A and B are shown apart, each in its own frame.
Chain A
């Protein structure tokens, strides 16, 4: 696919995020969609007929998510260059963000309960712009900590004004 090449900049090897991100996202999706699915099934069994469409739709959604998530996770990549952090994302809707270290205002590391149980975390770089969505989900905890320290150090060394 030559379109892929466009988001692969010259001489850059993207670092993938942890493959554990896929099961984490799937778990969350199953929890979020499982309850409506159950409720829909119960209602459908009681009332029958067209009510079956509700659980069917939810089930379709769940299957779609199960199919999509691994692809999405594989599409996430990041790379630390001398002056910038590059992050790419997306299968259908692709995006590539270039964040200069000097523009960093702060770094945030988050991990929810499901992610923590799998030992991964979410690193987000905040600039003065609300539009720069510089987040890397699904990094192994050690890598997240390293990246956080590295970004902080780089940001301090290259600090620019607004």
Chain B
């Protein structure tokens, strides 16, 4: 521990080995790319060719190992009450520093090799856009979990005394070192894992179904059928080879979707929403409270058959290029969508949130107080003018659009960055305007098009006012400080007290609006609260 109270640690010493294969693979790929012709022309016996390949692999691994070891020896991370630090780099030294109250999400990822060997990487996203994350790789799985809990507890504003935050010399901690010890160990209290309740889990059958019901699959199948016909008619299998690359690309995409979203699970805990996913490489993300900037429910055309929705979120820190991190749930029914929305935005600012959600998802015209594109603009939006609209509640804005590709976006008022009103020449003649709610970079760009000019103007003024009020009354960045002063939570070694204080902000029971009362008037009738199964210790990631 240095003068500033920062404890410095190294990542696990197995890191170079886990990283070395990447360098080796890259070298091997370059070799194959560059010299495969040369080796082929040498006209050597197969054994010698194999020997050459083996030699390249060994040399590549050694170079990779040496490089990774050097990188490892120059990498250290530290933790203080306010921040996480990472120093790394061989030639170009880099010092990264993330303030815990600016932390957006914490991910524990396990690439296949690390997963087999029981290691994990910890990724901390801050709101600086792409490349602003801080990745600690690799740590022992328990250490990574422990560090995650610790970071979240500190970010929440809990004071845990001077706990050994992470792994003290992780290399010596053979699974049960002081850092990985459970709360209440004599070495000092470490943050306990916040109690967690499983909310939803995706079955493989539904994932496969959702992939099958996509336009891409249909197109590719048709394409293949056509190709087969051509092959049979012309008695020539040439065309099959010609399309190899695009088919491989498509296959890689679908495999990526399947493997990435396999076993998708969502759970809730006081330190945020936990999302786990992955077939080979697993990811366990924690999204602390108040980090979701916008939610979108989208329904591809063919998912209407099953009534499925894909739910994405904007989170500061995940840039627009991030694809997996922005999915909150890949395939949800309407009832599940309601549960997930409840996790993100417990108070929708209306008495009948389920009706509002239902109308937002599938409704048209002015039901439930939606304001839509005026009739005079129907030739501009012949299909969607009755669907295209917004609904302003006390806490959020709902933006609805799409007749065939339905979409509903929910933006909490306190997450609106800025507002815009836009109008092109056509819209001007029709007295229409668009309103945009500027959100952080991500897959969702909330806007509602072609509103009546007067309506748009009122919306702009209203939203400005509501966003201002919401901003002023927004909770603190350290979400625990609102309900519990740090001193109260610092009965340090008492894990039970800590859990009790955590329990205080567990979604359903503690909130003023119990979900049971919110379910009145439900038509689809999802269970009153997430099907709660206690996960005392979530060891399944």
Contacts and interface: CB of A to CB of B under 8 A. Distances in A.
Asked if chains A and B come from one complex, the reply is: yes
B464 A84 contact: yes
Interface in B173-223: none
B423 A94 contact: yes
A54 interface: no
A96 interface: yes
Given A94-B428, A162-B127, A127 B438 contact: yes
A100 interface: yes
Contacts of B477: 161
B345 interface: no
Interface stretch (B9-17, B247-255, B377-385, B412-420): B412-420
Interface residues of A, number: 28
Contact of A95 (B420, B467, B476): B420
Contacts of A132: 417-418, 420, 438
Contacts of B436: 131
Contacts of B467: 100
B474 A9 contact: no
A97 B424 contact: no
A129 B471 contact: no
A61 to B, nearest CB: 19
Contacts of B457: 6, 9
A112 B439 CA distance: 30
A162 B418 contact: no
A96 B425 contact: no
B348 interface: no
A92 B424 contact: yes
A129 B453 contact: no
A152 B290 CA distance: 25
A115 B104 CA distance: 40
Contact of B439 (A6, A84, A131, A134): A131
Nearest to B428: A3
B428 A162 contact: no
A35 B477 CA distance: 54
A129 B468 contact: no
Contacts of A94: 422-423, 428
A102 B417 CA distance: 9
B440 interface: yes
A128 interface: yes
Interface of B: 104, 127, 290-291, 293, 316, 414-415, 417-425, 428, 431, 433, 436, 438-441, 445, 453-454, 456-457, 460-461, 464, 467-468, 471-472, 474, 476-477
28 contacts: A3-B423, A6-B423, A6-B456, A7-B423, A9-B457, A93-B422, A94-B423, A95-B422, A96-B420, A96-B421, A96-B422, A97-B420, A99-B418, A100-B418, A100-B468, A100-B471, A129-B417, A129-B439, A131-B417, A131-B438, A131-B439, A132-B418, A132-B420, A134-B418, A160-B414, A161-B474, A161-B477, A162-B415
Interface of A: 3, 6-7, 9, 83-84, 92-100, 102-103, 127-134, 160-162
Given A98-B460, A103-B418, 7 more contacts: A3-B453, A94-B423, A98-B419, A100-B468, A131-B439, A161-B290, A161-B474
